[in-house]
Structure 1
Amino acid sequence: MKRLAIYVYALGLLGIFLSSCQKILDKEPSDFVQPENYYNSENDLNFALAGVYDPLGSEYLYASGLWFQFGDCTDESFYPNSSNSFSAPMFYQYDYTNPFVGGLWQECYKGIERANLLLEHIDKPAMDERKRQAIAGEALFLRAYYHFLLVSNFGAVPLKMASTTNVSSVDIPATPAKEVYEQLLQDMREAETKVLKATEIGNASHVSQTTVQGILARVCLYMAGYPLKDETKYGEALEWAKKVVESGEHRLLESYDTGLTNSAYSQIFINHAQDKYDIGECLWEADFNMNEGNSAYAEGGRLGTYQISCVNVDTGYASGGIRTTIKLYNLYGEGDLRRDWAITPFTFESTQTTAVRVPQPANNIINRESGKWRRYFEPNSFIKQQYRTGQNFPILRYADVLLMLAEAENEVNGPTAIAYEAINQVRRRGYGLPVQAYSELADAAPGLAQSDFRQLIMDERARELCFEALRKPDLIRWGTFTDVLSATAEEIMTSNASTTNKSRWVLGYNTAISSPRYLLLPIPALEINVNKAIKQNPGW
């Protein structure tokens, strides 16, 4: 990681008393730091806070799991399985023993345990009170966010509001999903009053006030949709999204910004490759670092390694494991600059010593590769491992906030001028146009009915946010998951791909639509085997 790296690295040297692993030990380990002997200074609190953030960079969260393993196989993308000989989440071949299922669960509870320990000792050191409250706010928010990842993926889960004091007390029943959501909302609302503003923090690694507001809008939209269907939450989502916009702390990166040589949309992701923060555009990022000058703290994710396939050293290795659908390609209108960035119009000739671009044939749409994050923009000074990069993952972007505002406004008040302006700003930027000025080319058709505007939002979220770990949960909360995946499977089978490829690519879709159990992940084996008070999710 970058700004948090030194703290996370130091945590390893201190001995991980912050871990949530429940192991039965017959003696105290010599390198174990007792909580009562820690949290004695502001520096100690910052070390501990870095430990709370650290699971975000896990292989099972934003290094890979949430956006690749569990994010592939939607109407945006699929995994080009070359055989039917192995199982993996990206084509719905998994059960409760899968390491990514267990890893997501374990890493979230690790973050929750660390947050609880920090909050329980937050008042211990003498320090500036404003800084103390900011640390408390970030820990509160992160505890809530880890619970959000759990409840949105697993449904009812144990609500953990205090640190573990007895490792033998492992029989913890699941809390109903609605209660988990209500508690995490309470935590986030409190955190919003404590954390610092984005412009004061100066980077997207730490949670800011507008980060909390934007994620609160997301949480409320999830609660308004399936399975809770609490439509009163649309109004709260609208208020939180408006707060982000009205803060004046964020804006869409535009093509005429000083020094911008690429399209504004592509520059967002080039910045990730080049280790640059843009807090106006990106509110919150999972932070990684592969900078040669800071190699002692190297921590890489896989962003960029599953995009444009290439084996050349100068471009950085990538496997092309995320392929596009015909639907996503056709969603983009003529002149929309996002299409040929998100979906690469070329391949690399991998037999060359120096990579050579080969244009994709016009009739080859399905099976084109995702190109959002491109390794050839990484500076040569960066460490280029085969399956690791320092590219940050954008957990929350300002464009997402605008689209959430438009969605919530449409559900509460219909397709008003407020809803149109929010979605049109995103669309104008996609066409490389000034975001504040009317555009006949980019602006959505006026006078749409509420249902048609709703569909416009669904499509616009795919155009803008594809491959960013949001599509599957969007489809689930909209109640369209099964129908959309069925249509995508039919699209694949009627494409011009070979019969063999089609039968492989459609495998995950046919599995996902075969049972409603795939709307939730199974409670992992590591929990079922230890926790006798928890029940497995239906169908698993």
Structure 2
Amino acid sequence: MKNSFKYILMGIALTGATLVSCDDLLETKNFSDMSPSNFFKTEGDMAAAVTGIYLPCTTNWGYSDGGTGKWYNALFNADINAYYPAGMVTTDAVRHYSSNIFDEFTVGPATGGALTNTYNVIRFVARATDVINQIGKSSGATEDIRNRFIAETKTLRAFYMYTLLDWYGPVNVKLNPETLMDNSIQPRPSVAEYVANIEKDLEEAIATTSFPDKYNGDELNWGRMSKAIAYGIRMKLHMHQKEWAKAKEDASKLMTMGFSILNNYEDVFNTSRTSEHIWSIPSNLASDNYYITEVLPSDFKRGYSHKGDSYIRGNESGHFSGWQVFCMRWEFYDTFADNDIRKKTILCEYDTNDDVHKDRNSGMVGAIPLKYTDTQFANYGIQKEHPAIRYAEVLLSYAEAENELNGPTQSAINAVKQITDRAGVTIPASAIAGKDAFRTYLLAERGRELYCEGQRRQDLIRHGVYISLAKARGNNAKDYQVLFPIPQNVVTEAGGIIDQNEGYTK
């Protein structure tokens, strides 16, 4: 590929997807006007089609979906109407600055916003099915190239299916190319059937010899799916399903693929394509990352990461302000030890544009989870990539799976120690006293290491404390709210064929 993947991706995002022509989330009539005879004639044709499947994977605002004629937030956009921020504010780590239905567990089938934006990736599962089928029928490139594109698309399809499983449980995705233009609506599959289909995609992708292990050394293709990403997605799936032996196996494989922990925590978010990055969402001048603006207060001038510290982040001219959407809960901030180096990426005090000093006792609703420190916030967007899967998560997942299988073994402790050593903290003796103690410690350590990266909701659900922690914060959360509701228009249009998630029915 001669052109940078991330710029090609942005070009497609600006023009919108044009692979389908239906008007709603269920209809698939006239799904595709492409065929081997009129489109997939060259490697470039295939590359364009595959790159179009990445449309929801951007840090920019979102995309215009030519299939529905509507606009959707991208999965990794930092707006509260996107997948990962909406999920974050339901947790003990992050809160919305003001009233928010996700924060308060009052999301319903008609909510819209992040609920609909996230569900829309079901259409990209169907598009991926079409592209896989079309490439398989084409002779427009070598077999190795065709197989590479198919493996890439299967990995991406698996990720979208995992995302849907995370929020809604199994949904009626279209995986059979023969039925893509069939508008009959199928019921939702069982969890076992759905998970098996994700595993099948990833297993076949990993087995493809022409599928690259990783793209860390390839700036032009950085952000594309790879074998390492396929292992990472499968690891996350197995963690989600509590299949500990399988999760440990995938984590162990990734631990042999040349990844490692960086010496400096801040470098993980300020530097691209390092040994710690497995999959990052590209950002550039054409496709900004607006995370910083979402977390900065509206009157922000400069901030401090430690009380009385001279460690300053900000725009000294005072012309920049944030949108003040979400922040870190003080209770979660207090779980970091005073000497934890990761606290340097979190602001606990700041000066306003009028040089009024604010802290938790004088107007700060929560700490500012800065994460990206190599910027003076001169613009609303920054050119920093969002880490979707990184090696620290692999080590923590390995330790958790190993603990569930065998207790706090030395190999599990050593995996976590790579992370705590960098943070400048030690694993307390009480944390390794037994399986239960280590499990509790690992949940807390995952929160500190992976804060605001979109993992926390999944972690709390897996550990069985998601709802109880919400109740402790004063929310009237119900047990069934470990899943979000299927958008009401989907259930209505299905005419009773698609079941609504438990608890959300009228």
| Post-superposition offset of 1:445 | 2.5
> SS where residue 283 of structure 1 aligns?
strand
Aligned 1:255-274 pairs, distance under 5 A: 264-271=264-271
Relative to structure 1, is the Cα distance of residues 18 and 444 closer, same or farther in structure 2, using a 3 angstrom cutoff?
farther
| Post-superposition offset of 1:358 | 4.2
Identity %: 22
| Post-superposition offset of 1:240 | 0.5
Alignment of 1:460 onto 2:445: yes
Q: Which amino acid aligns with 1:534?
A: I
CA distance in 2, matches of 1:510, 1:200: 43
Relative to structure 1, is the Cα distance of residues 444 and 28 closer, same or farther in structure 2, using a 3 angstrom cutoff?
closer
Q: Which amino acid aligns with 2:56?
A: P
Structure 1 gap segments, 5+ residues each: 225-232, 255-263, 272-276, 292-297, 432-440, 490-508
Alignment of 1:518 onto 2:506: no
Relative to structure 1, is the Cα distance of residues 375 and 79 closer, same or farther in structure 2, using a 3 angstrom cutoff?
farther
Structure 2 gap segments, 5+ residues each: 63-72, 302-314
Contact 2:215 2:223 in 1 (8 A): no
| Post-superposition offset of 1:444 | 4.3
Relative to structure 1, is the Cα distance of residues 219 and 451 closer, same or farther in structure 2, using a 3 angstrom cutoff?
same
1:202 is matched with 218
Q: Which amino acid aligns with 2:422?
A: R
* Alignment RMSD (CA, Å): 3.0
| Post-superposition offset of 1:450 | 1.0
Aligned 1:6-25 pairs, distance under 5 A: 6-7=8-9, 9=11, 16-18=18-20, 22=24
Structure 2 length normalisation: TM-score?
0.82
Of the three residues 282, 288, 297, the one matched with 2:277 is: 282
1:405-428, Cα deviation, whole Å (9 max, x unpaired) = 100111112111110000000111
1:528 is matched with 491
Contact 1:406 1:422 in 2 (8 A): yes
1:246-265, Cα deviation, whole Å (9 max, x unpaired) = 122x11111xxxxxxxxx11
2:454 is matched with 469
Contact 2:47 2:149 in 1 (8 A): yes
Alignment of 1:350 onto 2:353: yes
Between 72-81 and 365-374, the greater mean CA deviation after superposition: 365-374
1:430-476, Cα deviation, whole Å (9 max, x unpaired) = 12xxxxxxxxx524428521111111111100110111111111111
Aligned 1:134-533 pairs, distance under 5 A: 134-163=148-177, 169-194=183-208, 195-199=211-215, 202-203=218-219, 204-224=222-242, 233-248=243-258, 250-254=259-263, 264-271=264-271, 277-289=272-284, 291=285, 298-310=286-298, 316-341=320-345, 343-351=346-354, 358=357, 360=359, 367-374=366-373, 376-377=375-376, 384-385=379-380, 388-431=381-424, 442-445=426-429, 447-487=432-472, 489=473, 509-511=474-476, 513=477, 515-532=478-495, 533=497
> SS where residue 56 of structure 1 aligns?
coil
CA distance in 2, matches of 1:211, 1:423: 21
Q: Which amino acid aligns with 1:183?
A: N
> SS where residue 376 of structure 1 aligns?
coil
Relative to structure 1, is the Cα distance of residues 104 and 14 closer, same or farther in structure 2, using a 3 angstrom cutoff?
closer
1:39-73, Cα deviation, whole Å (9 max, x unpaired) = 11111111111111111224251113122122113
Contact 2:107 2:484 in 1 (8 A): no
| Post-superposition offset of 1:517 | 3.0
Q: Which amino acid aligns with 1:405?
A: Y
Contact 2:26 2:490 in 1 (8 A): no
2:65 is matched with none
> SS where residue 367 of structure 1 aligns?
coil
CA distance in 1, matches of 2:13, 2:266: 36
Contact 1:105 1:150 in 2 (8 A): yes
Contact 1:16 1:33 in 2 (8 A): no
2:87 is matched with 70
Question: How many pairs does the alignment contain?
Answer: 460
Relative to structure 1, is the Cα distance of residues 184 and 14 closer, same or farther in structure 2, using a 3 angstrom cutoff?
closer
CA distance in 1, matches of 2:391, 2:146: 28
| Post-superposition offset of 1:320 | 3.0
Of the three residues 83, 103, 121, the one matched with 2:117 is: 103
| Post-superposition offset of 1:327 | 3.0
CA distance in 2, matches of 1:22, 1:474: 32
Relative to structure 1, is the Cα distance of residues 443 and 14 closer, same or farther in structure 2, using a 3 angstrom cutoff?
closer
> SS where residue 89 of structure 2 aligns?
coil
Contact 2:276 2:391 in 1 (8 A): yes
CA distance in 2, matches of 1:310, 1:376: 17
1:363-401, Cα deviation, whole Å (9 max, x unpaired) = 9886222221358346x6xxx34xx54432211011000
Relative to structure 1, is the Cα distance of residues 310 and 174 closer, same or farther in structure 2, using a 3 angstrom cutoff?
same
Relative to structure 1, is the Cα distance of residues 14 and 182 closer, same or farther in structure 2, using a 3 angstrom cutoff?
closer
Relative to structure 1, is the Cα distance of residues 164 and 337 closer, same or farther in structure 2, using a 3 angstrom cutoff?
farther
CA distance in 2, matches of 1:132, 1:358: 59
> SS where residue 373 of structure 1 aligns?
coil
Between 125-134 and 175-184, the greater mean CA deviation after superposition: 125-134
2:75 is matched with 61
Q: More helix per residue: 1 or 2?
A: 1
Relative to structure 1, is the Cα distance of residues 407 and 364 closer, same or farther in structure 2, using a 3 angstrom cutoff?
farther
Q: Which amino acid aligns with 2:429?
A: A
Structure 1 length normalisation: TM-score?
0.78
1:435 is matched with none
> SS where residue 280 of structure 2 aligns?
strand
